[in-house]
Chain A
């Protein structure tokens, strides 16, 4: 079992651009959650996907959107990037409610 995988590992964008991050959940998991982690902070919940629908959302603007595919993999899209979006973006998978297992993250730098 490969566990949770994320791509890309690192990404550099400029202000105003758009970015798509990808996540494949752990085998057998049907729920994917996305988090943003700024340096020195704990992960902040962005949203969660289950059965291809957004089930819960944290305090993030509509510039952050996502999608879940029938194979449970997921994408996080961020539009109109600004400097404050620079962070480690983490994907976590789980069964409907239970322990979440995290991927290695995508380090996004916005210049």
Chain B
């Protein structure tokens, strides 16, 4: 069964303390992997699409990387405004997209 698993479920960091979030997937014929940020009570905000192993993309303090079995979202010197739930998702079949449960990130000032 196709699955997307994110770890850890929750992460508390001090401001400036870098870390990584993990997204592992079991989807045959990967056609891309998406990262989203979601603030409480709001819709997910698109961050990145990664298409092939070895690909990396950056945006401000975030960098996403992709291997054949997992993706990492690296957060460098985070600030309190980076606190959110980070979701990864992979397409399955022609149209379905499967989301992980997310990692709740809390950055302490």
Which residues of A are in contact with B by a Cβ distance under 8 Å? 4, 6, 31, 33, 35, 40-45, 48, 50, 55-56, 58, 88, 90, 92, 97, 99-105, 107
Provide the residues of chain A in CB contact with B43, threshold 8 Å. 4, 6, 90, 92, 102-105
* Contact of B95 (CB < 8 Å), options: A41, A55, A102: A55
State how many angstroms separate the Cβ of A6 from the closest Cβ of chain B: 8
| Whole-angstrom CA separation of A92 from B41 in the bound complex | 15
* Contact of B96 (CB < 8 Å), options: A56, A92, A99: A56
Inter-subunit contact A56/B94 (CB<8 Å): yes
Determine the residue in chain B with the shortest Cβ distance to A102: B43
* Contact of A43 (CB < 8 Å), options: B42, B91, B94, B99: B99
B87 CB–A CB distance under 8 Å: yes
Provide the residues of chain B in CB contact with A101, threshold 8 Å. 46
| Whole-angstrom CA separation of A102 from B38 in the bound complex | 10
Q: Most B CB atoms within 10 A — which of A33, A40, A42, A90?
A: A42
| Whole-angstrom CA separation of A45 from B93 in the bound complex | 13
Inter-subunit contact A33/B100 (CB<8 Å): no
How many residues from B make CB contacts under 8 Å with A? 23
The binding surface of chain B is classed by DSSP as strand
Provide the residues of chain B in CB contact with A105, threshold 8 Å. 41-43
Inter-subunit contact B46/A100 (CB<8 Å): yes
Provide the residues of chain A in CB contact with B99, threshold 8 Å. 35, 42-45
B77 CB–A CB distance under 8 Å: no
| Whole-angstrom CA separation of A40 from B10 in the bound complex | 11
| Whole-angstrom CA separation of A50 from B43 in the bound complex | 21
| Whole-angstrom CA separation of A32 from B89 in the bound complex | 17
Inter-subunit contact B44/A43 (CB<8 Å): yes
If A45-B97, A56-B93, A58-B96 are given as contacts, then 19 extra A-B residue pairs at C-beta distance below 8 Å, sorted by A number, are: A33-B95, A33-B97, A40-B101, A42-B4, A42-B99, A42-B101, A43-B89, A45-B98, A55-B95, A88-B41, A97-B94, A97-B95, A99-B34, A100-B34, A102-B36, A102-B43, A103-B43, A104-B42, A107-B41
